[in-house]
Amino acid sequence: MAQLFLRFYLCFHDWICLPCLRCCLRSRYHWFLQARPCRAYARWRSKCTLAFLIAIISTVAIGFQNYLFAGAAAALTARLRSLSFKAILRQDIEYFDRDENSTGALTSKLSDNPQKVNGLAGVTLVPFSPSSVSRARPSLSPPVISVSALSSSKIRPTKAHEESAQLACEAAGSIRTVASLTREADCLRLYSESLDVPLKKSNRTAIWSNGLYSLSQAMVFFVIALVFWYGSRLVANREADTFKFYSTTFGAIQAGNVFMFVPDMSSAKGAGSDIIKLLDSTPEIDAENEGGKVLDESKVKGHIRLEGVHFRYPTRPGLIERFYDPLAGEVYLDGEKVTELNIQDYRKHIALVSQEPTLYAGTVRFNILLGATKPESEVTQEEIEAACRDANILEFIQSLPEGFDTEVGGKGSQLSGGQKQRIAIARALLRNPKVLLLDEATSALDSNSEKVVQAALDQAAKGRTTIAIAHRLSTIQNADTIYFIKEGSVSESGTHDQLIAKRGDYYEYVQLQALSKA
């Protein structure tokens, strides 16, 4: 509040300095024209001190004003970015499935939109001094404003660069694959082609926008010329004095400055609309919604039941985690509809180990602690080691020079696939989930790593409901119940031995895998 008051206080000083200087100049001009030269010069010299004082005050006021408002603009940009990122994280998974919400598009919006809005920060309107000569100015305001509005209407916010941003993100994120396939030239070609469309559009609009912009800037001089012409007539006819003439002249110059420094309104308007739309959007599955029933953690058993479910998305774990809602039917946890449960509390009881484990740049400890459901400061070293022991990764971590404080690199680049997978398992086990989801957890591993990871998964499955999705039947043959899904529905269910005895679809699939191994 104090900073806000200081900003406006300095603005007032900055605003008052120029009118004071104008008054001095206008009165001095009046003396020169209507008094004796020697007497006018004496009066002028006596007021020079005031002009220097105004200059000093203006220097200090403008300097601090610009500094404080630049800080306010930077704070506004940071605030908008923070709110936008928070709103993105709030969205449900279906939001990110849309083409317009790709990684590149969201990254581009998060970076560009707040900066475009920042262009409006600190813009002030200059007050116009009233005078009899100002009758000439209103007649000039409509064409100046019309040119500005026409210029803004020709410049529309574009999303053409989002495609190129998405392509750049994908290429940089999978640079090892690009390099191994020697496709650098192809990536460059595709990226260059993706820039051609916005380049052609910008070339078409450049002629109009720059022509209109130059016209709007020229209007400043048209205004001044007309004021001088009309004002000189009034002074010659003694309808106005020099004081009013110079008052209007300075006002016309400042009016022109307003149009010279107004930023791209169209761009800022489009960016502001995107930000407001994002902040106001409420997902159908709102993870921040505090409503819903909270289960007693000590009584949760992890019994999952799907009843009459129809679902169109290919990832079944997303349905159980309530990333999506089924088109029909219900999903139950311990007899409770998951749609009636508090989302945050419900997801605390579930952990997922996917085919491609996601590790972040940081230490081993940092990546494991991401799975904690309580504050990191409350997680003990014993709990971390217990989770790692169950994941068959403790001995490996302890053998590292820095142990749990070893950096894993971006996306876990310093670790092998099996090591990353076991750290992901340890991260999942740290939250002690009642339901463990395994989505092709070993399909991307070689046979040696698969055996180690499978042993860790078998250990992790004890004492909790484990739902494993797999194409390698060796990873699920010890399951209590196997569901064979064919053409979107369950065709068979039972244990491995029971399904083999039926000699149905499951049996045929087992034979196919046996032949492929042979």
Task: Quick: pLDDT tens for 45-88.
Answer: 566 666 667 667 767 776 776 677 777 777 888 888 888 888 88
Contact 148, 216 (CB under 8 A): yes
Q: Do 272 and 327 lie in a common domain?
A: no
Q: What is the pLDDT of residues 241-263, one digit of tens each?
A: 777 777 767 666 666 565 555 55
- The count of structural domains within the chain is 2
Would residue 124 be called left, alpha or beta, if left means φ above 0 and alpha means ψ between -120 and 50 degrees? beta
Which residues are CB-contacts of 15 (< 8 A; sequence separation ≥ 6)?
A: 127
Question: Is 291 within a domain?
Answer: no
Provide the CA 315 distance to its chain's centre, in angstroms.
Answer: 26
Q: Do 207 and 327 lie in a common domain?
A: no
Q: Do 396 and 507 lie in a common domain?
A: yes
Contact 344, 287 (CB under 8 A): yes
Q: What is the pLDDT of residues 408-430, one digit of tens each?
A: 988 888 888 888 988 998 999 99
The predicted structure's pLDDT at residue 407: 93
Question: Is 292 within a domain?
Answer: no
Q: Do 309 and 211 lie in a common domain?
A: no
The predicted structure's pLDDT at residue 145: 43
Q: Do 231 and 301 lie in a common domain?
A: no
Rounded to the nearest 5 degrees, what angle is found at the Cα of 34, between the Cα atoms of 29 and 38?
A: 80
CATH, residue 347: 3.40.50.300
Question: Is 285 within a domain?
Answer: no
Domain encompassing residue 455: 297-517
Q: Do 258 and 308 lie in a common domain?
A: no
Q: Do 213 and 352 lie in a common domain?
A: no
Q: Do 308 and 347 lie in a common domain?
A: yes
Q: Do 260 and 408 lie in a common domain?
A: no
Question: Which of residues 280, 313, 348 is at a domain's end?
Answer: 280
Q: Do 276 and 301 lie in a common domain?
A: no
Q: Do 144 and 15 lie in a common domain?
A: yes
Question: Which of residues 235, 255, 280 is at a domain's end?
Answer: 280
Q: Mean pLDDT across the chain, nearest whole number?
A: 75
Q: What is the pTM of this model?
A: 0.67
CATH, residue 118: 1.20.1560.10
Question: Is 419 within a domain?
Answer: yes
Question: Which of residues 252, 280, 308 is at a domain's end?
Answer: 280
DSSP 155: -
Q: Do 262 and 304 lie in a common domain?
A: no
